[in-house]
Amino acid sequence: MKTCIFVIGDSDSGKSSVIRALTGCWRGGIRVLRTLSKKPIRILVVIGSLQEMVCKKFPPDKFLSELEKKFKIKRKDYDMIICALQVRLNSKKYSYDKYLMGAKNKGLKVKAAIIKDDNSKQVINFCKNNKIGCLELDLNKGYNEVAHEIRKKFYPK
């Protein structure tokens, strides 16, 4: 089963920086990284939140197929997706919960790395109520430490 790790937070909260520290990637695309046990894993990295990437192109019910089109790949070409979601939006149609459930409904194992702030408890409660693994991130520890916590909790062994 493929895994999708969403890094979730407000606008300008450090989502992209967390993804860069986690993957070493400055641009999106397929990357081969290593798990903590040194096993290679193919990751589709998306820098920036899906909602900020022109919502009409990446709506919750179609974002997987649209990302695959954008990066010219097929589902068999990657093992994991890492991307960002913004918590507060004007449109409920593109809210973080719609993306989480959209990925879950497509058969992905969904994980949420949530940047600690005033909204994080709401997101954590949503995840727990929907059996989505979650981890609250304290960016005061630094991006590399937070990235290591994500790897330990969410990467395959």
> How many CB atoms neighbour CB 98 within 10 A?
18
Sign of CA pseudo-dihedral 48, 114, 45, 144: positive
In angstroms, rounded to a whole number, what is the distance separating the alpha carbons of residues 40 and 65? 24
Interhelix angle 15-23/143-154, nearest 10 degrees? 70
Domain that includes residue 128, residue range: 3-154
Q: How confident is the model at residue 54 (pLDDT cuts 50, 70, 90)?
A: low
pLDDT at 135: 96
Of residues 41 and 55, which shows the higher confidence score?
A: 41
pTM of whole model > 0.75?
yes
pLDDT at 87: 86
pLDDT at 56: 61
Chain segment 17-43, per-residue pLDDT in tens = 999 999 999 888 899 998 888 999 999
Count: domains in the chain = 1
Residue 84 belongs to domain with CATH number: 3.40.50.11230
In angstroms, rounded to a whole number, what is the distance separating the alpha carbons of residues 27 and 123? 27
Token representation of residue 54: 């022109």
Q: How confident is the model at residue 61 (pLDDT cuts 50, 70, 90)?
A: confident
Strand 80-86 versus strand 3-9 pairing type: parallel
